[in-house]
Amino acid sequence: MAWVAGIVSVLATLVSGANSQARMLFDAGRTGLLPAWLGRLRPRADTPVNALLGMAGVALGIIGVWWAAHLIGADRGSTNPVGLYAECSTMGTIVILFVYFLTTLALPCFMWRRHRESFSTLRHVAIPILGALTLIVPFVELCKPGQPSPYSEFPYIALATVAAATVIACLTVRRHPSTGSGEGTTR
């Protein structure tokens, strides 16, 4: 029963993660932060199929490259599915923690600029600060020195990913100044 519960838990986590990621890609495509085709809906059901397929394709590509690198010996990590899942989820967690941290910083700014009449210091400043503080422990544990390879490289890969995303975002906004201006609105 424990195995069945574990499998159901992993599948539920994968479904929720896929839903979350596809929604972020859809919104970014809709507002111009990512290619517009990601922000299109399937006509009959109004589902973001392009975002789901794009996210699934990129995820499978990452897993395939990761697995191939392990198989040919370019990386000393695990080649079994559980080990590969642990490595992929650890790397993904570090990047998602960056996203959560940046979200906690963005909320007060967004609410102050766009919804000043409903701005609350407690809800929109104090609570996000507490949320950001709770991320310290996972950051420290995931990024502490002395971890075995490939885990010891993950913080650097995450920083490089965030730096690359920042450069791409700056270039995109410079080329198209209205990019992202629709964030927080419904269409």
Are residues 61 and 113 located together in one domain of the fold? no
What is this structure's pTM?
0.69
Residue 146 lies in a domain: yes
- 60 and 44 in a common domain: yes
How many structural domains is the chain composed of? 2
Q: Residue 13 domain-assigned? A: yes
Domain boundary among 75, 107, 122: 75
Q: Do 84 and 170 share a domain, yes or no?
A: yes
Are residues 95 and 56 part of one domain? no
Residue 64 within a domain: yes
> Residue 116: inside a domain, yes or no?
yes
Q: What is d(CA 109, CA 106) in angstroms, rounded to the nearest whole number?
A: 5
Co-location of 174 and 82 in the same domain = yes
The parent domain of residue 88 ranges over 78-178
Give the residue among 102, 98, 110 at the shortest CA–CA distance from 184: 110
CA distances from 80 to 84, 112, 114, 178 (A): 6, 48, 48, 46
* pLDDT tens digits, 164-183: 988 988 888 888 887 766 66
Q: Say which residues have a Cβ less than 8 Å from residue 157's Cβ, sequence separation at least 6.
A: 91
Give the pLDDT confidence of 90-117 residue by residue, as tens digits: 888 898 888 888 888 888 998 998 888 9
Please list the alpha-helical segments (H only) found in 32-75: 49-71
**pLDDT below 70 — which residues of the chain?**
74-79, 180-187
What is the full DSSP assignment across 103-130?
Answer: HHHHHHHHHHHH-GGG--HIIIIIHHHH
Residue 28 shares a structural domain with residue 63: yes
Is residue 58 located within the same domain as residue 84?
no
Residue 87 lies in a domain: yes
Residues 89 and 174 in one domain: yes
How confident is the model at residue 148, as a pLDDT? 86
Q: How many angstroms separate the CA atoms of 92 and 105, rounded?
A: 20
Alpha carbons 53 and 59: distance in angstroms, whole number: 10
Q: What is the pLDDT of residue 156?
A: 92
Q: How many residues in total does the chain contain?
A: 187
